[in-house]
Amino acid sequence: MVSFSTANQARLILKMKLSQYAWYNSSITIPSSSDGYSVIVMVDKLDNDVRKVIPPIVLNVEIKTELY
C-alpha cells in the first residue's frame, strides 16, 4: 500500500521533470482503491510522444495520464 506522502513525493518528482513541456498542465494525488494512492498527470495532448516521456510507475506509485 502506497502512502499519501510517497505518492505526493512521486507527483513532485514528475512535476519537476514534466513542467518543461508545453503539453503538461498539472498533476494530482488521488486515493486508489487497490494501492493506497496514485498520481494523475493532466496533459493538453495525449499521443505516443507524451506516453514515452511519462513513466508508468515512480517510487512504486502508479501514474495515470488524462487529457485536461
Summarize pLDDT for 10-44 with one digit per residue, the tens. 999 999 999 999 999 999 999 998 879 999 999 99
pTM for the full predicted model: 0.92
Task: Please report the pLDDT score of residue 7 as a whole number.
Answer: 97
In this model, does residue 4 exceed pLDDT 90? yes
**Rounded Cα distance, 1 and 19, in Å:** 28
CB 53 within 8 A of CB 18: yes
In this model, does residue 45 exceed pLDDT 90? yes
Cell numbers linked to 37: 494512492
Task: Please report the pLDDT score of residue 34 as a whole number.
Answer: 80
Domains and CATH numbers, the chain: 4-67 (3.30.300)
In this model, does residue 62 exceed pLDDT 90? yes
